[in-house]
Amino acid sequence: EAKMARQRYIMHVDMDAFFASVEQLDHPEYRGKPVIVGGLSGRGVVSTCSYEARKFGVHSAMPMATARRLCPQAIYVQGRYGRYTEISREIRQIFQEFSPVVEPLSIDEAFLDLTGMEALVGDVYALGPKIKETIRQRTGLTASVGMAPNKFLAKLASDLRKPDGLVIIRPEEAAAFIAPLPVGRIFGLGQRSVGALGKMGIRTIGQLAACDPRLLKPLLGKQAEEIRDRARGLDNRPVVPDEQRKSLGKENTFPVDLTGRETCLGVLWDLCQQVGWRLRSAGLSGCTVTLKVKTASFQLLTRSRTVEEPLAQDEELMEQIRVLAGQLPWTWPVRLLGVSVSHLVPAGAQSLAVEDQRQQDRNRALDALKQRFGENIIRKGWGKP
Ligand code: TTP
Ligand code: MG
Query: Of the ranges 87-91, 319-323, 365-369, which is most confident?
Result: 319-323
pLDDT band at 341 (very low <50, low <70, confident <90, very high): very high
- For residue 1, what pLDDT is reported? 42
Q: Is 108 in the pocket of ligand 1 (CB under 6 A)?
A: yes
* DSSP conformation class of 17: T
Using the mean position of ligand 2's atoms as its centre, give its distance from the Cα of residue 10 in Å: 18
Confirm if 6 and 115 have CB atoms less than 8 A apart: yes
Using the mean position of ligand 1's atoms as its centre, give its distance from the Cα of residue 130 in Å: 23
pLDDT > 80? residue 5: no
Question: Residue 354's Cα: distance from chain center in Å?
Answer: 30
User: What does pLDDT average to over the chain?
Assistant: 89
Confirm if 345 and 309 have CB atoms less than 8 A apart: no
pLDDT in tens, 263-285: 999 999 999 998 998 888 777 78
Rounded Cα–Cα distance for residues 95 and 98 (Å): 5
pLDDT in tens, 199-223: 999 999 999 999 988 888 888 888 8
Residue 61 CA: nearest ligand 1 atom is 26
β-sheet with 284-295: strand ranges across: 247-258, 334-346, 284-295, 300-311
Q: Which residue is closest in CA terms to ligand 1's atom 24?
A: 47
Q: Is 238 in the pocket of ligand 1 (CB under 6 A)?
A: no
Query: Of the ranges 218-227, 295-304, 345-354, which is most confident?
Result: 295-304
- For residue 289, what pLDDT is reported? 97
- For residue 351, what pLDDT is reported? 44
Other beta carbons less than 10 A from residue 87's beta carbon: 23
Q: Is 107 in the pocket of ligand 1 (CB under 6 A)?
A: yes
What's the rounded mean pLDDT across residues 250-272? Answer: 93
What's the rounded mean pLDDT across residues 156-160? Answer: 96
Residues with C-beta atoms within 5 A of ion ligand 2 = 14-15, 18, 108
Ligand number nearest CA of 37 is 1
- For residue 180, what pLDDT is reported? 96
Using the mean position of ligand 2's atoms as its centre, give its distance from the Cα of residue 144 in Å: 8
pLDDT in tens, 7-24: 999 999 999 999 999 999
Using the mean position of ligand 1's atoms as its centre, give its distance from the Cα of residue 20 in Å: 9
pLDDT > 90? residue 303: yes
Using the mean position of ligand 2's atoms as its centre, give its distance from the Cα of residue 327 in Å: 53
pLDDT > 50? residue 42: yes
Catalytic residues, by residue number, are 109
- For residue 192, what pLDDT is reported? 87
pLDDT in tens, 187-203: 888 888 999 999 999 99
What's the rounded mean pLDDT across residues 19-35? Answer: 98
If we measure between CA atoms, which residue out of 200, 165, 211, 205 comes closest to residue 184? Answer: 205
Ligand number nearest CA of 88 is 1
Other beta carbons less than 10 A from residue 212's beta carbon: 7
Predicted TM-score (pTM) of this structure: 0.66
* DSSP conformation class of 63: B
What's the rounded mean pLDDT across residues 320-349? Answer: 89
Q: Is 235 in the pocket of ligand 1 (CB under 6 A)?
A: no
Phi, psi of 308 (to 5 degrees): -80, -40
Other beta carbons less than 10 A from residue 134's beta carbon: 17
Q: Is 110 in the pocket of ligand 1 (CB under 6 A)?
A: no
Q: Which residue is closest in CA terms to ligand 1's atom 21?
A: 47
Rounded Cα–Cα distance for residues 61 and 45 (Å): 5
Ligand number nearest CA of 60 is 1
Q: Is 61 in the pocket of ligand 1 (CB under 6 A)?
A: yes
